[in-house]
Structure 1
Amino acid sequence: MERRRLGRTGLEVSRLGLGTMQWGRGVDAATAGEQLTAFLDAGGSLVDTAALYGDGRAEGLLGELVDKLGCRDDLELVSKSGLRRRGEDVVRDTSRGHLLTQLDRTLAALGTDHLDLWLVHVWDDATPAEETFAALEHAVRTGRARYVGVSNFSAWQTSWAAGWLAARPDHVQVAATQVEYSLLRRSVETDVVPAAAAHGLGLLAWSPLGRGVLTGKYRGGVPGDSRAAHPEWESFVGAYLTPARSRIVEAVARAAEGLDVSPTHVALAWLRDRPQVGSALLGARTTDQLEHALASEHVELPVEIVQALDDVSEGAR
């Protein structure tokens, strides 16, 4: 698999990454092990997780598998902190104390002394930004994170983080921003992508298949075994099951038919090659789904198809 420098840093990552949001919850230990093995066999190296993924079980499961396979040196481990459970609710907390405590727990769960990339999971209005960014700086200074970044930040929040850290004595570079980005969600191109380019950040794109809609599985309705049929995910996926976005899905399907590949491959190849994108994160429920998505590595879209998809998805900005 092709590797890329992440933004203007020396960190190299695979251009397809493995997401673990459902590990320990919708994805059991056996399937997670199959997925990690398949990902490594395909030449993948960037694995993305977070403190709360899998109801807090994903990091521990990933750590067990990395230890079992002895593959730590083959991976770029990425994790995120800044969310916590308060009773039944998930709340934002990017205070220095919580971030660094969560980071230490992450390292223990993963069985490593450092993350290759540590991200603040969300912006938190209740915490002074300087306090949050100082925690990132401290993590780099103490060796617990090789690189740092942000997640789900707006353009001005991203610029603030990059500018503040760069102006500090340690001149810490913000390496990446993780955002939702796909043919069905191009709004980040308006401001976040230009901000990332200006400050030398790479993009880690989550939900590159438009919450699963770009696979084409919903073209004939909502399958009973799909996420859109589950009460927990119905509104999340349903937001993209609109007439306007259906036109984009149909265009992807037509392109796929013409190229004799799948809609998944077309959608991922389009996203993978957008400016600033360092890695597209694949979150699969089954190993077959992951292996199918990984096969997009070998798909190159003709310029004419890229332009056609750009045109039809313009409204998703």
Structure 2
Amino acid sequence: MEHRQLGRSGLRVSRLALGTMTWGLHTDADEAADQLVTFHDAGGTLIDTADVYQDGHSEQILGDLLTTTLDRDHVVLATKAVARRTDGPFGGGASRAALLTALHGSLRRLRTDHIDLWQLHAWDTDVPLDETLATLDHAVTTGKVRYTGISNYTGWQLATAATHQHAHPARTPITAHQTEYSLLERRPEHEALPAAHHHGIGTLAWAPLGRGVLTGKYRHGTPANSRGADPQLAGYLDHHRTERAARIVEAVTTAAEGLGTSPLAVALAWVRDRPGITAPVLGARTTHQLKAALTAEDITLPPAINAALDDVSAPQNQH
């Protein structure tokens, strides 16, 4: 697997990332171990989790695996804080106290002394930004964090945070930005992606398969063993089950047939090679799904197919 610089930092990561949101929910520890080994054997290094995934169980599974199954030094370990974990005074949010509490919890569950990429999971309107960002600086200077990032920020929020950190050489630059981005979700192209590019921030794209819709599995109904059939996740998926999405899925399927590959691989390769994208984040429930996604590494979309997919998926307000 190819590797890329994360923004203008010196950190190199695999151009596909392994997401762990389902670990501890639909993916048990044994299946997670198989995924981790499969991803590593394919050349992958970037593993993304968060302190709120299954109330910390995702981090705990990953931490155990990095002591029993795979050497900690073989991965770029990324996690997140800010989202509400508990009802206590420090159980969520972007205050200094809450963030440091979250960081110590993540370090404990991940069984490590440092996080390679620590990300703010969301913007917190109740906390002064300079307090939040100063906490990132503190985490880096104390050695508990190597690089910092943000997630789900709008374009103006991203630019504001990046500008604040660039204003003084002692501050830690924002290295990474996570956003939902796929053929079904191209709104980040308006502001967030240009802002990230301007400030030298690498973008990690979550839900690059349109929350599973772009795989084509929902073209003719809802498979019984899919996320769409799970009451906990159906709403997450239904966000992208629209007439527009159906047209895009048909175009992706046609492209896949012409290339002799899967719709999944086509949709993933499209995101992977978009300007400003460092890596899509793969959220596979099973090792079988992960292996199918990794086949995207075998293809590069021809210019004509890229152009056709760009056209059919262009946001309506661009027409």
TM-score range, shorter chain: over 0.9
- 1:52 match: 52
The 1:179/1:160 distance shift into structure 2, 3 A limit, reads same
Deviation of residue 217 (structure 1)? 0.3
Deviation of residue 286 (structure 1)? 0.8
- 1:309 match: 309
The answer to whether the aligner puts 1:286 opposite 2:286 as a matched pair is yes
Q: Distance in 1 between matches of 2:70 and 2:192?
A: 37
Where 1:77 maps in the other structure, the secondary structure is strand
The 1:67/1:258 distance shift into structure 2, 3 A limit, reads same
The answer to whether the aligner puts 1:84 opposite 2:84 as a matched pair is yes
- For structure 2, the 5+ residue unaligned runs are none
TM-score (norm. length: structure 2): 0.96
> 2:55, 2:85 within 8 Å by CA — same for their partners in 1?
no
For each residue in 1:141-182, what CA deviation from the matched residue of structure 2 results, as whole angstroms up to 9, or x when unmatched?
A: 111111101000001110111111111341321101000000
The 1:124/1:2 distance shift into structure 2, 3 A limit, reads same
- 2:95 match: 95
Q: Which moved more, 1:212-221 or 1:125-134?
A: 125-134
For each residue in 1:81-124, what CA deviation from the matched residue of structure 2 results, as whole angstroms up to 9, or x when unmatched?
A: 0012345xxx8511111111111111121111111110000011
Q: Distance in 2 between matches of 1:245 and 1:72?
A: 39
- Tell me the percent identity: 52
- 1:206 match: 206
Where 2:17 maps in the other structure, the secondary structure is strand
> 1:18, 1:46 within 8 Å by CA — same for their partners in 2?
yes
- 1:33 match: 33
> 1:184, 1:316 within 8 Å by CA — same for their partners in 2?
no
Where 2:266 maps in the other structure, the secondary structure is helix
The answer to whether the aligner puts 1:268 opposite 2:305 as a matched pair is no
- 1:4 match: 4
Q: Quick one: which amino acid aligns to residue 313 of structure 1?
A: S
TM-score (norm. length: structure 1): 0.96
For each residue in 1:180-236, what CA deviation from the matched residue of structure 2 results, as whole angstroms up to 9, or x when unmatched?
A: 000000000010000001100000110100000000000001112211122221221
Deviation of residue 70 (structure 1)? 4.0
Q: Which moved more, 1:303-312 or 1:101-110?
A: 101-110
Where 2:158 maps in the other structure, the secondary structure is helix
Q: Distance in 1 between matches of 2:3 and 2:262?
A: 23
Q: Quick one: which amino acid aligns to residue 4 of structure 1?
A: R
- 1:74 match: 74
* 1:1-317 alignment runs, 5 A limit: 1-86=1-86, 93-315=93-315
Where 2:80 maps in the other structure, the secondary structure is strand
Q: Distance in 2 between matches of 1:185 and 1:74?
A: 32
- For structure 1, the 5+ residue unaligned runs are none
Q: Distance in 1 between matches of 2:222 and 2:25?
A: 22
Where 2:281 maps in the other structure, the secondary structure is strand
Q: Distance in 1 between matches of 2:5 and 2:273?
A: 13
Where 1:117 maps in the other structure, the secondary structure is strand
> 1:24, 1:55 within 8 Å by CA — same for their partners in 2?
no
Q: Distance in 2 between matches of 1:7 and 1:126?
A: 29
CA RMSD of aligned residues (A): 1.3
Q: Quick one: which amino acid aligns to residue 115 of structure 1?
A: I
Deviation of residue 273 (structure 1)? 0.3
Q: Distance in 1 between matches of 2:224 and 2:21?
A: 21
> 1:186, 1:316 within 8 Å by CA — same for their partners in 2?
no
> 1:92, 1:124 within 8 Å by CA — same for their partners in 2?
no
Q: Distance in 2 between matches of 1:2 and 1:132?
A: 34
Where 1:195 maps in the other structure, the secondary structure is helix
Q: Distance in 1 between matches of 2:221 and 2:24?
A: 29
> 1:62, 1:110 within 8 Å by CA — same for their partners in 2?
yes
Where 1:39 maps in the other structure, the secondary structure is helix
Q: Quick one: which amino acid aligns to residue 312 of structure 1?
A: V
Deviation of residue 315 (structure 1)? 2.2
Q: Distance in 2 between matches of 1:86 and 1:125?
A: 19
Q: Distance in 1 between matches of 2:283 and 2:236?
A: 15
Q: Distance in 2 between matches of 1:64 and 1:83?
A: 23
Q: Distance in 1 between matches of 2:316 and 2:77?
A: 31
> 1:187, 1:316 within 8 Å by CA — same for their partners in 2?
no
For each residue in 1:250-278, what CA deviation from the matched residue of structure 2 results, as whole angstroms up to 9, or x when unmatched?
A: 00000000000000000000000011111
Q: Distance in 2 between matches of 1:304 and 1:30?
A: 42
